[in-house]
Amino acid sequence: FPVERIRNFSIIAHIDHGKSTLADRLLEITGAITKTQKNKQVLDKLQVERERGITVKAQTASLFYEYENQTYLLNLIDTPGHVDFSYEVSRSISACQGVLLIVDANQGIQAQTVANFYLAFEAQLTIIPVINKIDLKNADPERVENQIEKVFDIPKEECIRISAKLGTNVDQVLQEVVKRLPPPTFNREDPFKALVFDSNFDQYRGVIANVALFGGCLSKGDRIVSAHLGKSYEVNELGLLKPEELPMERLYAGQVGYVIAGMKEVKEAQIGDTLYHQKHPVEPLPGFKPAKAMVFAGMYPMDQSDYSTLRSAVEKLTLNDSSVTVQRDSSLALGAGWRLGFLGLLHMEVFNQRLEQEYNASVIVTAPTVPYKAILSSPRLIKEHGREEITIVNPAQFPDRSLVKEYLEPMVMGTIISPDDYIGKIMSVCLNRRGIQKNMVYIDDHRVMMKYLFPLNEIVVDFYDHLKSMSSGYASFDYEDAGYQAADVIRMDILLNGKPVEELTTIVHRDRAYSAGKAMCERLQDAIPRQMFEIAVQAAIGSKVIARETIKAFRKNVLAKCYGGDITRKMKLLKKQAEGKKKMRYIGTVQVPKDAFINVLKRK
């Protein structure tokens, strides 16, 4: 296929602005060309329905599109939508020459729209703004076009107004992709070079890497090397994604497709890695860095007898997600488990949910923590670690102030977009989270965009929920990495009946220790049910107790209410109580519900 008639593009959007819906429409429209005219609608519909499972995960698809009597190959490259995965987004984008930037005609520009725009802008891609959902009653495309001109400096005439749902003007989107985007400039005569922009694990066939060819060509049977690990593989199968796999004999520069080459784990085909021919090594594509974990949490089986089942579930899940880091860990109270690192809180929740749903595992997840750093002053510790600067991902291992020159905490630059009615409230919440305002601009007559520098620790657990509920759902939020800053932080322990519970240890800012300690004790008081004895809940800094709550003793006799008869009701109550118990974990003699470990950090 001639390179001049290839276009590689991505769809980027704030969540729910219609990325998947538009992708489905594009697949429908272009699928129609390869079918006979008769019955095409019905066939396409069924096929799209059948492929839904695939399109949810990977919308990477090679589409054939007829324009002015020429056939074009349009490669639609999927990007994950959430802030946790912005590193992956930037990698997928680097395989493209342009993007469709979708904005909802009712909601207008939101925080992720801005973040995604900059990723594409910095990669110097052609950006086609698309205003979606013009069929909505409250759609105001005019206003959104003005926002786009103001915030992104893109002339409003360049916007395409569509309804992905009804299909209105969707064909025009494809025409503009052909007209406005440049073809890739890669050369078939160069040595083979490909970017891995996604990878999946298949139980039977191993790793399926999604690749974009930046040079040369690749054939079945070739021996290739992945630059990051330097391991070599033989190509067993390769082809196009339509989006289902279509095996081919060969892929060429400018094309996008999949490669199966006997890789056993996705770690061998990491996003952003470069593949090349063993015989013709090339300079790897720039900017490869392994995904960086920003949130760490302990994970333990509810019951130690489930340890090996859980271990195999964790292994299987990480086989498919190379961005999760895994370290063995153990604790006095919870036994053997792991300390896992995630890209963000959503990533952690998805992982946890998959463990429970797909592997039926019952796990305790401890309070998440961000990676702190410490510059050590103690010669003993420096010798022990072999260096001055260490990263701490487990609060229980936080070195004491007396052994440290300085602590550093990770920072992020947050973008908040909101109607201006909420400015006051938002500013006070941000201040409360130790946010520092860097910028504030109006993007239209009553919406503002604010930039805040935050300690990651302050926003990682529940800031977004808080922002949403405070603004009746109107404010949106996104953030990017902003390095490390010196911080006056200390370790706070929680004691249940005088026994420290390592899994509840957190790192807090010194100025907030008292209020944080008090809040944690109150939340634990709510989270732990009354038991047959009194429970003292204490927060302590070193040996000094800074807060205390008491959970009064209580004897819960569930059967007292239904004397005599009704045996089914009795059974029901007993069953309910048993289920309640199942979710409890003993810490010493105290029963703690498993979600208490994470809920203690959620502010009201």
Among 8, 10, 21, 110, binds ligand GDP (CB under 6 A): 21
x/- site string to ligand GDP, residues 100 to 139, per CB under 6 A? --------------------------------xx-xx---
- Residue 16 lies near ligand GDP (rule: CB under 6 A): yes
Nearer to Mg ion, 165 or 509 (CB): 165
Give the footprint of ligand GDP on residues 164-183 (CB under 6 A). 164-165
The size of the interface with ligand GDP (CB under 6 A), counted in residues, is 15
Only segment of 20-28, 70-78, 348-356, 438-446 that touches Mg ion (CB under 5 A): 20-28
CA distance to 400, 491, 512, per residue, from 405 (Å): 10, 16, 21
Question: Tokens for 354?
Answer: 């998959």
The sign of the torsion formed by the CA atoms of 255, 258, 263, 266 equals: positive
Among 30, 163, 255, 471, binds ligand GDP (CB under 6 A): 163
Nearer to Mg ion, 14 or 19 (CB): 19
- Residue 322 lies near Mg ion (rule: CB under 5 A): no
Looking at residue 12, the DSSP 8-state letter turns out to be E
Spatial separation of the C-alpha atoms in residues 161 and 173, rounded to whole Å:
9
Nearer to ligand GDP, 107 or 318 (CB): 107
- Residue 49 lies near ligand GDP (rule: CB under 6 A): no
* 329 three-class SS: strand
Among 11, 13, 17, 20, binds Mg ion (CB under 5 A): 20
Amino acid at 75: N
Spatial separation of the C-alpha atoms in residues 221 and 209, rounded to whole Å:
16
x/- site string to ligand GDP, residues 190 to 219, per CB under 6 A? ------------------------------
Nearer to ligand GDP, 81 or 395 (CB): 81
- Residue 20 lies near ligand GDP (rule: CB under 6 A): yes
Nearer to Mg ion, 24 or 458 (CB): 24
- Residue 17 lies near ligand GDP (rule: CB under 6 A): yes
Question: Tokens for 229?
Answer: 């690990």
DSSP string across 56-69:
HH---EEEEEEETT
Q: How far is the CB of 135 from ligand GDP (least distance, A)?
A: 5
Contact 325, 341 (CB under 8 A): yes
Residue with tokens 């207008």, as numbered in its chain: 108
CA distance to 17, 48, 75, 92, 210, per residue, from 35 (Å): 30, 14, 19, 30, 26
266 CB-near residues (< 8 Å, 6+ apart) = 199, 200, 201, 207, 319, 320, 321, 322
Only segment of 157-165, 170-178, 268-276, 446-454 that touches ligand GDP (CB under 6 A): 157-165
Spatial separation of the C-alpha atoms in residues 160 and 502, rounded to whole Å:
56
Nearer to ligand GDP, 101 or 487 (CB): 101
Contact 20, 13 (CB under 8 A): no
Residues that bind ligand GDP (CB under 6 A): 13, 15-21, 132-133, 135-136, 163-165
Residues that bind Mg ion (CB under 5 A): 19-20
